[in-house]
Chains A and B, each alone.
Chain A
Amino acid sequence: MTFTQKFTLFLAAAALFPLSPLWAHRMWILPSSTVLSGSEAWITVDAAVSNTLFVFEHRPLRLEGLSILGPGGSRPAPQNLHTGQFRSSFDLKLNTPGTYRISLADSSVMASWKENGEVKRWRGSPDQMAAHVPAGAPELQITRMSSRVETYVTLGKPSREALAPAGAGLEIIPVTHPTDLAAGEEAVFALLMEGKPAAGIELTAVQGAGRHVDKPFEQKFSSGPDGRVRLSFPAPGYYWLQAAAGDAAPGRGGSRATCVLVLEVLPQ
């Protein structure tokens, strides 16, 4: 294979897996505060894709798949939605004490097949696929991708309803409450695939250290037989956790699921 061929294959793969951690930048959402007091409070949230955490330097993260789950199953509406060159942002008013889960979820399908000797491609949502992709076409390859980017904020006393798994795709569910994370203390997370414990899944934890730290904390973990990961954050600050699972590979289809969880770790 010549360099040009390799490079073309790389570009094709990069186009095929725009959200895959193999090539992608990091997706994140960052709340202005994760711990709030008083009877009500506002937060603002940024959503972006970048390499350096949490610096706006590449692309905004689109807000189409945004959902917010509040205490008691409430669904508070985000306000002042905006997407700019480097980031999206929105505001959220917290009216009720408890913990809120902020999620950006996306699922998509990539398909390629041969039609009269020509390679055809299609990308869209799973429920649209049947209308666009001929079933049983020659050399049909289907790649299913799901991604989830989440964070938690708490007004007053933390609650746990919002921590319940959605039951779809890959999820990082906090076992240690996300408002209870402190530097130097062990925290436990459960990795779930379609709502069930997922063993042997790789999870990467990276410190959001901005561009002024030479070597931010970064460590890889693997979920145990019970699907759990135990880790200890070395210093206070914001952290980015990403889990990735699946068998998708360029040229043979498959599936790929990623989940990102942004957390704030407090000083002792």
Chain B
Amino acid sequence: MNSRWAALAAAGFLQTAGPPRWQAAVEIPRVEVAEYHRPYVALWLEKPDGTFVANLAVWYDIRPKKGQGEDGSTWLKDLRSWWRKSGRELALPADGISGPTRAPGRHTAPVSPGALPPGEYVLVAEAARELGGREVLRAPLRWDGRQIEGGRAQGKTELGVVEISVMKDK
């Protein structure tokens, strides 16, 4: 896309209600184990070369569990890729990103990548579960300023389908 197009597209957003909202959908598989803990999950965007772009969500034990003085931030390092790319730089909980852990099932969340210039990106999802495993999914996508092409991946162990789409106007 040429830069004039991009400028026009960006201007279009400014005239309406800011950048379009995206919606992330994350499927957390049901795991049959005696002791189940909900996974910590992080969602973020990278450039195809691995450069970090923006956080979309991080779900962890955002409040101390009963009888424990500390929240779950001690274990955020187990989201190893995310912690290295971005987590360690953040003051947590972070507005619009942090949320509590989710139960098995499909969850959707509005995410705000900001005014992202059109281009190639990679949606990354990382999940880490206590007494369980860790899984990282990468879903390349193309963002033309209005639509997302791609941005969907199927996990094998700790994640089901992960996808990102532009929220439809109501």
Contact = CB atoms under 8 A, between A and B. Distances in A.
Contacts of B89: 157
Interface in B70-117: 70, 73-77, 80-81, 83-84, 87-89
Contacts of A33: 77
Given A157-B88, A157-B89, A158-B88, A38 B73 contact: yes
B136 A268 contact: yes
A160 to B, nearest CB: 14
Contacts of A157: 88-89
A156 interface: yes
Contacts, number: 38
A37 B70 contact: no
A37 B83 contact: yes
Contacts of B81: 266-268
Interface string B33-60: 0000000000000000000000000000
A182 B85 CA distance: 11
Nearest to B74: A38
Interface string A27-55: 00000010111110100000000000000
Interface residues of A, number: 17
Contacts of A226: none
A180 interface: yes
Main secondary structure of the interface of B (DSSP, over half): helix
A38 B87 CA distance: 11
Given A267-B81, A268-B136, A38 B88 contact: no
A37 B74 contact: yes
Given A157-B88, A158-B88, A182-B84, A36 B136 contact: no
Nearest to A182: B84
Interface of A: 33, 35-39, 41, 154, 156-158, 179-180, 182, 266-268
23 contacts: A33-B77, A35-B80, A35-B83, A36-B74, A36-B77, A37-B73, A37-B75, A37-B76, A37-B77, A38-B73, A38-B75, A38-B76, A154-B88, A157-B88, A157-B89, A158-B88, A180-B84, A182-B84, A266-B84, A267-B80, A267-B81, A268-B81, A268-B136
10 pairs of A and B residues whose beta carbons are closest in the complex: A38-B74, A37-B77, A37-B76, A38-B73, A157-B88, A35-B77, A266-B80, A156-B88, A37-B73, A157-B89
Given A37-B74, A37-B77, A267-B80, 17 more contacts: A33-B77, A35-B77, A35-B83, A35-B84, A36-B74, A37-B76, A37-B83, A37-B88, A38-B74, A38-B75, A38-B76, A39-B70, A39-B73, A157-B88, A180-B84, A267-B81, A268-B81
